[in-house]
Amino acid sequence: MPYITTADGTEIFYKDWGTGQPIIFSHGWPLSGDAWDVEMKLAADNGFRAIAHDRRGHGRSTPTWHGNDMDTYAADLDELVRALDLEDIILVGHSTGGGEVVRFAARHGVGRVVKVATVGAVPPVMVKSDSNPDGTPIEVFDGIRAGVLADRSQFFQDLSAPFFGTNRPGSTISQGQRDQFWRLGMQAGFTSVYDCVKAFSETDFTEDLKALDVPIFIAQGDDDQIVPIADAALKSIDLVKNGTLKVYPGAPHGIAGPYQQELDLDLLEFWKS
């Protein structure tokens, strides 16, 4: 299986499908690159080279004790890009992965990245503070950490409901989708899962968003129960220079069902534009 080894000895697994202009897909917490399989096939079928990595501590990558922070995630992605000698890159990131690609693009991707798409992404910053008074209280993230520590398996099973919106009337998301969320989450390293909560909730991406000068497509469902849209996409669009916002009425955080079908058409149009 394809891996690169980073400067600190971490093995990063990646999938590489198709040929053409590269699109790098970055997954959300606590998943892996497999969460993007449908979109990777869509990209490869339409003449792009689709690449998805497992973030350190997730999926098939090394379950690291150190480096479970956004700066290191972006640096790992930079090492992957350099190892594969990629240019003219399109980035796509969901949730935590949206933060990763924004930080990578701002700090490592100048001259290499030509477009960015984020979906239900964590920027600008999730946690409530004096400078972000309408953010999510730290107690919510403490609760996530407590759930991981107490019974990670059951916590992930329970979390899959608000993640995909199956707790809403009329949801058509299958139990299989929820089971896949649980399965991918249980593949991740325990410490990495725990530490990544701080990374996705407390990292401030404001300056990264301001620094981007390439086109960015910002997508989010307005019934996202995991990353509240009012403190995410609706703020991010005001910070970027060349952004397009698409809000999907009634759509959840997880990419599945009718939301996925509509989103994928929009992503394909953005990639080809």
Q: Is 238 within 8 Å of 218 (Cβ atoms)?
A: no
- The span from the CA of 70 to the CA of 138, in Å, is 18
CA distances from 8 to 1, 3, 66, 80 (A): 20, 14, 10, 13
Distance CA 260, CA 272 (A): 18
- The 3-state DSSP class for residue 25 equals strand
- Are 218 and 123 spatial neighbours (Cβ–Cβ below 8 Å)? no
Contacts of 249 (CB under 8 A, 6+ apart): 221, 222, 223
Cα 88 to the center of its chain, rounded Å: 20
Work out whether the CA dihedral 116, 225, 182, 141 comes out positive or negative. positive
- Residue tagged active-site, from 95, 160, 201, 236: 95
> In Å, how far are 53, 61, 63, 93 from 10, measured between CA atoms?
13, 8, 8, 21
Check if 236 is active-site: no
204 is catalytic: no
Is 253 known to be catalytic?
yes
Beta bridge partners of 127: 136
Element (H, E) at 22: strand 21-26
Q: How many CB atoms lie within 10 A of CB 206?
A: 15
Question: Alpha-carbon distance 260 to 257, whole Å?
Answer: 5
Q: What is the DSSP string of 77-95?
A: HHHHHHHHT--SEEEEEET
* Catalytic position from the list 54, 76, 208, 224: 224
Active site residues per annotation: 95, 224, 253
